Structure 1
């Protein structure tokens, strides 16, 4: 409790925390409402719902070589601020395209808005790394996981509620409003210059193609040089497969197998069940992080969640399905909190943007490939149960891979850190 109190006494962290919260809330409400709008309007064409999720992930592949370089070379606070404002304006444009009703234009605006939002997280994450102390990273990761669990708990339900009461137009306007609130919170922060501009001041005209690709390659070399970071990156690629599949397969399970006539109502219950599982798991993970090594939590969480996701594919009733997903949700925070608290402590603050610039595209590449595969193969080639085998199997395989790799790499990393500390002490 003392750790939570300490980081919430940091005014900049509080503002960035709530800016991230409001920005995510708007995206969650709008995306959920829009997906149900498409499922209602094109009930026999689940392709459109999958394509909506695809428009959230594919843009990363168009801007991945820019986001990390921008976060390390440009003013991080201004990047996050302008991302929110531009996203708000594009939400209004999206509303107009939905009124027009031309699907290619709608998906084009979704693509553009998502591309702009990809610049937000590396800049915001790098600022948080700079304003917190090393011992506060795991606490901050735990708080982020609690926020994610609240979105899982209330996000889908809130999105559906807004859709039912205000329609898809009201949901999109809610998007625009939350982006504006987030932008105002970011603008009110007083971030030190060394955190905003860790590599000195640069203007947009300074970021020519040569510098962009030089910095992007520098990020790759930095990752490859650190084997522990490289091993974690393998996991992130597989997490993209999980994110892609899990963004749509619970709704598909309800709509096309368990309860086609009441899938919207059960989707609300699913969100509540999954959110409670993640929320309880977040509290447990925050406590366990003080008693176990972080890599042990990662391995346990992956194996636990993977096993229960595979088991969920065999559920013959909605109650059993929800119970198994609750158990799977409990294991996910063990992974997210451990990695979220670990990454800032092993990455140089001057390189955080460029490292994030590699993590996000790897995840989104695998997420996009997964969604694209589902779009063309479901329900023609794939049964809904097979989606659960694919996602659960990926989690379990990464758990086995990490159990073989992380213990040894962690020991080597700790020895290097101790040797580096000894050298610094000797120099003093």
Structure 2
């Protein structure tokens, strides 16, 4: 891990992401509160989530095609600049009459963001050696949890003390900071021109890319064919889809579970989510130190299975033995295996995909995960009142146990790993 912190380009990417995500959490926490205070409408508040969520499903897979055509560092730089400038119209919001501006800005920001994450995930393997993928992903994940802890706490405080406009400015400044970090990077020529060298047709100017939709469609299908052709990627995508449905249910019904089963209030709800971050940070520290010594696929199914079992305990134990200290302990404990499987599935997607296709694979990953989460949210909304929170929340823990069994059985049946897969994944068949 210390070797990674001596890599200038990686540290710049990591630090920029930390500041940017902290700014994002300031706004994510502050906006729903502001909208509800201004409108008093739950519908108006929920619309912020829907508008920000739709581009994840509709655009992220296609965005990955462009990420593979363009210089990834330059893509991130331009997108972060657009994200910063795109927030500024929110400074014109002064009440209910101008709230329509907020929804336009959120949709624009969400569309631009679809290019950032695939570009970052595809750029990371160009900044570190392959044997450092696991600790590098662990450190990137750690910055996400730190940003969530700090940004979520500060978002409500800043909104109440200095107002929405200053929260918007802080988030915009965080995007400009990322641009500065990216400008300070010094990438080798091979990392900047890898796509153009392999396919001269893809090196055409950005102004003509959007007029070649037939070529774009072909490249999108190329990414889909890779997933369909490579058995391990297929298994990982099925695992991702199944578990994200469970996550969609969990995110929708946890607050009801806390209220009706744990008899807690909003303070308890926020506290449980916060202390899970402690387990996530501890798990990431363990992954960064020891994760690269283990087989990624084996670690994935074991950690996912442990996560699922602890999740089932979280939901079912309070029915027979309601004890808040035990529930808090389980929320910390579940964060540790969560860190292991999230880091290792990210590493597997990076290792199993050749560089020129990584943007498309990560864009598809984002689209599949978002669509599955939406299905989970819809199931929670349709069945939550009829079945209650406990039976549906058991589906989340069950989805991880099922996903773990799926990967274990795939390994036992002897997936024919390609040479590149064999370097990262131990075939235990």
TM-score normalised according to structure 1 size: 0.85
In the superposition, relative to structure 1, how do residues 147 and 406 fare at CA in structure 2: closer, same or farther (>3 Å)? Answer: farther
**C-alpha distance in structure 2 between counterparts of 1:77 and 1:312, whole Å:** 42
Measure, in 2, the Cα distance between the counterparts of 1:8 and 1:382: 49
Structure 1 residue 113, shift from structure 2 partner: 0.9
Give yes or no for contact 2:308–2:399 (8 Å, CA) kept in 1: yes
Query: Is contact 2:39-2:96 (8 Å) kept?
Result: no
Q: 2:130 is matched with which residue? A: 134
> Which one of 358, 362, 366 corresponds to residue 356 of structure 1?
362
**Deviation larger for 241-250 or 60-69:** 241-250
Q: 1:407 to 1:336 in 2, by over 3 A?
A: farther
- The answer to whether the Cα contact below 8 Å between 2:72 and 2:123 also exists between their aligned partners in 1 is yes
> 2:10 matched to 1:10?
no
Displacement after TM superposition at 1:242 (Å)? 4.1
Q: In the alignment, which residue of structure 1 is the partner of 2:382?
A: 377
Q: Following TM superposition, by how much is the alpha carbon of 1:278 offset from its aligned partner in structure 2, in angstroms? A: 0.7
Aligned counterpart, 1:116: 112
Specify whether residues 35 and 6 from structure 1 end up closer, same or farther in structure 2 by C-alpha distance, changes over 3 A only: same
Contact 2:67-2:118 within 8 A present in 1 as well: yes
Specify the alignment match of 1:237 in structure 2.
241
Change in 2 beyond 3 A, CA 1:92/1:135 = same
Shift of 1:300: 1.8
Corresponding residue for residue 68 of structure 1: 64
**Match for residue 191 of structure 1 among 179, 182, 187:** 187
Contact 1:312 1:321 in 2 (8 A): yes
1:424 maps to: none
Spell out the pairing of 1:206-217 with structure 2 (5 A cutoff): 206-207=208-209, 208-217=212-221
| Residue in structure 2 matched with residue 300 of structure 1 by the alignment | 302
Matches within 5 A, 1:29-178: 29-38=26-35, 45=42, 50-97=46-93, 99-100=95-96, 105-178=101-174
Q: Please report how far the alpha carbon of residue 69 of structure 1 lies from its aligned counterpart in structure 2 after TM superposition.
A: 1.3
Is the CA contact (8 Å cut-off) linking 2:299 and 2:340 kept in structure 1? yes
Which whole-Å deviations, capped at 9, do the CAs of 1:319-363 have from their partners, x for residues lacking one? Answer: 443332222222101101212222222211111112112111111
| Corresponding residue of 1:340 | 346
Q: Which residue of 1 aligns with 2:287?
A: 285
Contact 2:90 2:165 in 1 (8 A): no
Give the counterpart of 1:273 among 275, 279, 282: 275
The answer on whether the counterparts of 1:228 and 1:409 sit within 8 Å (CA) in structure 2 is no
| CA deviation after TM superposition for structure 1 residue 122, in Å | 1.3
**Is 2:393 the counterpart of 1:388?**
yes
8 Å CA contact 1:153–1:274 kept in 2: the answer is no
Task: Give the Cα separation in 1 of the matches to 2:328 and 2:103.
Answer: 32
- SS of 2:195 mapped into structure 1: coil
Q: CA separation in 2, counterparts of 1:249 and 1:44? A: 20
* Helix, strand or coil at the partner of 1:198: helix
C-alpha deviations, 1:99-120, integer Å up to 9, x for none? 3456665334322211111100
Provide the C-alpha distance between the structure 2 equivalents of 1:17 and 1:396, rounded to a whole number of angstroms: 32
Find the aligned partners of 1:48 and 1:323 in 2 and give their Cα distance.
36
Gaps of at least 5 residues in structure 2 are: 197-202, 424-429
CA gap of 1:63–1:268, structure 2 versus 1, over 3 A, is same
**Aligned to 2:177, which of 178, 181, 185?**
181
- Counterpart CA distance in 2 for 1:340 and 1:9 is 22
Q: Which moved more, 1:100-109 or 1:289-298?
A: 100-109
Q: Deviations over 1:112-148 (max 9, x none)?
A: 2111111001112222211211111111011122223
* 1:326 is the counterpart of 2:328: no
Cα distance between partner residues in 2 of 1:152 and 1:73: 32
- Which residue, out of 227, 232, 238, partners 1:228? 232
**Structure 1 residues 174 and 246: CA distance shift in structure 2, 3 A:** farther
Match of 1:388, SS?
A: helix
2:249/2:396 contact within 8 Å kept? yes
The 8 Å contact of residues 315 and 390 in structure 2, kept in 1 or not, is answered as yes
Offset at 1:269?
Answer: 2.4
* Contact 2:25–2:147, Cα closer than 8 Å, also in 1: yes
Find the counterpart in structure 2 of residue 422 from structure 1: none
Q: Give the alignment's Cα RMSD to 1 decimal.
A: 2.9
Inter-CA distance 56–416: structure 2 relative to 1 (3 Å threshold): closer
Does the 8 Å contact 1:153/1:272 carry over to 2? yes
